[in-house]
Structure 1
């Protein structure tokens, strides 16, 4: 890993956290066609590239005694865990804001500090895992790293707008900095710690489940007025790219 080629994707993802939400043409209702398209790209990558890769990695998990004794699909169980964790986080934020609005009668209630830090801490772990995966991608073909980086860059853009909507100035002042530090820390950990293949596969599964939930929760609410055609077009075009390689 002497080329350190993954430093460029890390810097690009950090750049998105710093400046992504300043792209005002992506904000507002109805939902930007670019954000919907970005969601389609992210989901297409998970289903057509990441999950098949996890299927190949399942053999590493099955070598563990405890895995053989319980379930034969721990990889996909971890994807379910990732999806469930981020669904629970989203519900906790929405419920906290609704309760705050009821108490203060504020049309735009602020997220309680405890919920904000729980939310950001969870996404920090998520970012750190993605940073580590970026480092590990250096071992494979360059196009594999590029495909993953593009999908995660667009996914980060979606997450940034969602987090800013939930937390407003708290995200701008603190949240994005924490996420960037977590991303870089996760990537840098790759220089120090070499995780077993089994752990890497499970980490990728968790991230895959998180990507699916974090994209769909932004697309499905009726008040978003999302552009389905843009989501479908993004997924279709990226699927063609993935299948052609």
Structure 2
């Protein structure tokens, strides 16, 4: 696939990446390169192009926020020459994007000098793909939920979970296979998120991964389209969807299942709008 891209010197061009085709030849999985920017994606040999939105994500800012100090911003989805960076509403002149890693978990940094008028250190970036705001020194609260019954297996019966801002929400007392579906059991949670919010999801696996006891996390939008998934990228090969940035405000569904229930199509999995 060919992606519209821009390198760290501001030169625009095209990046080509190979991927993995599905067994039926109807889908292709390709890792989006760090230098890709919002624009059209082309499949080599085809006249068809589809729009790709690269939403920026901020992970951390290093240094003391004070006028004149040098700070280091870390994130992804940042395009050299096409990023607006502000601190407490004060614009940073000519932010310089540097790409450190372009495989696996991308990493980009932006060294900059804090402008006059900064105070709390609220950092915001804006690109053609969207915006993201990082609020440092936030106090992380903790919430524990214990659903009284088996978590629903379809969008209509999904358990609704409220996710407060800057909160670590833990759900306990639920497991895969605790109903008549056995190994095909799916637990679905429904929540809302605002565009630009960053969320991380993880699950605890009770069995040994070597024995095939793997847990699958899948994230869907309101239409039932899968927007993220993971099987083993967390600690000790647990599933973890890290730093997901909501592309739009609305309803999302998080599904938890065993690896045995790994259908790729939402319609054959107990996903939003699906029937078992």
Bigger radius of gyration among the two: 2
Q: Which has the higher contact order (CA 8 A, sep 6+)?
A: 1
Give the number of the structure whose residues are more often strand, by fraction.
Answer: 2
Per the normalisation by structure 2, the TM-score is 0.21
Give the number of the structure whose residues are more often helix, by fraction.
Answer: 1
